[in-house]
Amino acid sequence: MEIEHGNVETTRHKSAYLACGPEDGPRIFFVHGWPELSLSWRHQLLTFGNLGFRAIAPDMRGYGKSSNYSQHEDFAVSEAVQDMVELHSALGQGPAVWVGHDWGSPVVWSVALHHPEIVHALANLCVPLGLEAGVDSIIEHVDRIIYPADTFPMGQWEYQFFYNENFAAAQAEMEAEPLKTVKLLFRKGDPAGAGHPASTAYTRINGGWFGPDGIPDMDIDLDVISPTEAGIFAEALARNSFFGPSSWYVNHENNAAFSAKLKPSQPITKPVLFFHGEYDYVCQTATGTLANPMRARCSDLTEIYVKSGHWMAQERPIEVNSGLTHWLISSVGYWPATEHS
């Protein structure tokens, strides 16, 4: 089956989406992060759609052909969660499987916590439970051997505070030449980075992402995206601007307040799958303690370690798809009827 385009529009928001598979197949929602698109899940959409699932990947608010907004607070996690609730309601009945990555992960964690009735099971790539409650809640897990507090007080998360302190500068840097930005960001993981500070730790020290010379012009990493795909990402970011994508980083207080509506340390009892990126040195979960709160609060947790950087679904689609497939069969019991398989 082919990937198709669709839209769900309510009185408050329009979600554009890509989908693959029979419309009556069991639903899997794939939720992307910064600065991506529904296209980021192309490998998963085709695989699961052709297995008989109804695989759906929305453009999140501020991205692609979904609604964009002009106020920072419009990009709080609570707003994105409501978008997903409305999308779920419009595209079928009954609980679904939800899969998130990057900022899509805090959305998926929050859907499971605030709306468990629409969740059969959930999986997240790279970002464990925690960031949905604001960045301050994860600073205690910074590895102080790699990030001494006197140099990197916020560790690898320094860049998130740069957005709050210099939003206009951060936005301008990223959108000056979107294709260069895309080529720089979408790169496979490097095992040589282990034990060294991530580049994100230097953002406040350097007063910006790229320094006085601007964005370097790098070759496309063909192990992650193709030239055509890079062009699609860049065109969408140029059309929408980086205001929306960057605004996801300046809602930590709003996100903390949304999280605080729950009981402290509210557990997740639905089946959970988490993919660790062994070469993701910002979301450093393969080592250290960042994943421990997730382990404490998820009573049915499966963990998979992938030799990948942050863009796992695109860099290692076979590992991601096979891990999801095995988990859906062995731990969740969620599979298309015979006529769809």
Angle CA 36–41–45, to nearest 5: 155
- Residue 249 is classified by DSSP as G
Rg from Cα positions in the chain: 19
> For the domain with range 4-340, which CATH number is right: 1.25.40.10, 3.40.50.1970, 3.40.50.1820, 3.20.20.480?
3.40.50.1820
Interatomic CA distance for residues 167 and 220, integer angstroms: 27
**For the chain, domain boundaries:** 4-340
pTM of the full structure: 0.97
According to DSSP H, which parts of the chain are helical?
Answer: 42-51, 77-90, 104-114, 158-165, 167-175, 178-185, 203-206, 227-240, 243-247, 252-259, 292-297, 312-315, 317-327
Which of 233, 224, 238, 245 shows the shortest CA–CA distance to 315? 224
pLDDT tens across 155-179, in order?
Answer: 999 999 999 999 999 999 999 999 9
pLDDT tens digits, one per residue of 12-36: 999 999 999 999 999 999 999 999 9
Angle, alpha carbons 160-166-168 (nearest 5°): 110
Q: Three-class SS of residue 111?
A: helix
Q: What is the per-residue pLDDT for 341?
A: 41
Is the distance from CB of 84 to CB of 77 less than 8 angstroms?
A: no
The rounded distance, in Å, linking the Cα atoms of 33 and 168 is 20
User: pLDDT for 242-280, tens place per residue?
Assistant: 999 999 999 999 999 999 999 988 999 999 999 999 999
